Amino acid sequence: MTQPQEPSAKPLIERRSIDYIPEAERHGRLYSQFTLWMGANLQITAIVTGALAVVLGGDVFWSLIGLFIGQLLGGAVMALHAAQGPKLGLPQMISSRVQFGVYGAAIPIVLVCLMYLGFTATGTVLSGQAIGQLLGVSDSAGILLFAAVIVVAAVSGYRVIHYIGRIASVLGIIAFIYLFSRVMALGDIGELLQNRHFSWSSFLLAVSLAASWQIAYGPYVADYSRYLPSDTSPVKTFLAAGLGSVIGAQIAMVLGVFVAAMANGQFAGREVAYVVGLGSTGAVAALLYFSIAFGKVTISTLNSYGSFMCIATIISGFRGHIEVSRAQRLLFVLGIVGASTLVALLGQHSFLAAFKSFILFLLTFFTPWSAVNLVDYYFVTKERYDVPALSDPDGRYGRWNVAGISVYAIGVLVQLPFISTKLYTGPLVEALGGVDISWIIGLVVPGVLYYLVARRSRRPIPERMLLPADSINLGKVANGA
């Protein structure tokens, strides 16, 4: 399939928001999906996430295997969401109205907004450290400077985000090649790999860290594939986004495992300085600080842009239309980045412990949503969405889909006995040897339950996907045009 070249007339600053992307405005190539998600993962927070597997008690060998298994499992979930973008031409979360209702979709979307807030805040902490070291200012000043860059990028939108992703991929590859060379020069990799003391709790912690990292992209990954032509192969979209994310994250987390194993307890609290300090001084250190800060621009912009899309989706559901002006976009982004910056400033000194609890607890709320959304799209409606009805509370999907909301709630509750975090530990965790298997329960139980409930539902499903143009044509016919 030959995809069209990106026309020069396309505006650099995005005009659309959560509304459907008409075929005439579709553009882009699949390689941009790979580079975007590669760049989004070749960054310092992924390094820290991989390091957690060792910092919290795992060995190097089994942590690497556990992280890889988690990448594959979570990456598959993430990529299945990405494949929806070209077909639907919509942001990911607005399609949740099919499963939850036009108003009911606000329930998981509010939780998604909190996720973006947390991820943006934690990324801003690390970026502030890098900018502070690079410019010789305080970490707090670095956080504020980074926030200003994110506002500009998020307001500019889709094309600017993809451009940033391409640059971040190149910078990230160069920086990681150098960092791996320093790790091999300063440490004995063979000796580190020989340190093996397998335990189920540490191994499954590594799996959960990587899986949660990938699954957390699910609520917005289709936002960045929705401009691709509608005839783009779903399999190729799945592979482009999935491989970019899995490869990028695994590279970063492998580095994090080795760095943490070499650090002898010196990693926590000075994550950025320790990574850059692997034998780097002067200009090389400055370039690494710049690469770390720029690498965080990609993912923090994705988080802020995704937050804007979610808030706009919530508001539009109750307003009855989905157009968002540029002024409203700016206000939304300023509010989102402002809130995450405040959280970053207040929590910058307790980053590592808070981040571990946050990223694992996220799975409680997003694996059931992913399960419901994917089962509905691939096995129940089978891509046959009524796009105009997504903005009509009196339409096909109604205000509240009690069945979908109930399954989602059950999916959250059924995980509670199996959760093991500092925020909350379930009663069955000790019996399982401290192993957290909640995210597995959260995928399987609501997925199966939703399929059974949806198949028994009498709600009509369109024979094909209905687009806004279909409503206009029907209106003309009804008026005798």
pTM of the model: 0.84
Q: Which residues, other chains included, contact 117 with Cβ-Cβ below 8 Å and sequence gap of 6+?
A: 307, 336, 339, 340, 343
The rounded distance, in Å, linking the Cα atoms of 317 and 321 is 7
Q: Is 466 helix (H, G, I), strand (E, B) or coil?
A: strand
pLDDT of residue 346: 78
Residues in the chain: 481
The rounded distance, in Å, linking the Cα atoms of 134 and 142 is 9
Amino acid at 376: D
DSSP character at residue 377: I
For residue 350, what are the CA distances in angstroms to 22, 142, 425?
46, 17, 20
pLDDT of residue 477: 41
10-residue mean pLDDT profile of the chain (481 residues): values are 47 69 85 89 85 86 95 95 92 89 89 78 80 84 87 78 81 85 82 83 88 87 89 95 95 90 70 71 78 78 78 74 68 82 76 60 83 95 90 89 95 91 82 79 95 87 83 49 48
Q: Kindly list the structural domains of the chain, giving each domain's residue range(s) and its CATH number in brackets, ordered by start.
A: 30-349 (1.10.4160.10)
Q: What is the dihedral of CA 128, 129, 130, 135, to 10 degrees?
A: 80
Helix, strand, coil fractions of the chain, as percent rounded to 5: 70, 0, 25
Q: Is 211 helix (H, G, I), strand (E, B) or coil?
A: helix
The rounded distance, in Å, linking the Cα atoms of 102 and 123 is 32
Structure-token pair, residue 125: 């902490």
Amino acid at 318: F
Q: Which residues, other chains included, contact 128 with Cβ-Cβ below 8 Å and sequence gap of 6+?
A: 139, 140, 141, 142, 143, 144, 145, 146, 344, 348
pLDDT of residue 113: 81
Q: Is 27 helix (H, G, I), strand (E, B) or coil?
A: coil
Helix boundaries (H) for 277-325: 282-319
The rounded distance, in Å, linking the Cα atoms of 259 and 271 is 10
Q: Is 386 helix (H, G, I), strand (E, B) or coil?
A: strand
For residue 451, what are the CA distances in angstroms to 183, 366, 438, 447, 481?
48, 18, 20, 6, 42
386 has which bridge partners? 466
pLDDT of residue 278: 72
* Cα angle: 279, vertex 284, 289; to 5 degrees: 95
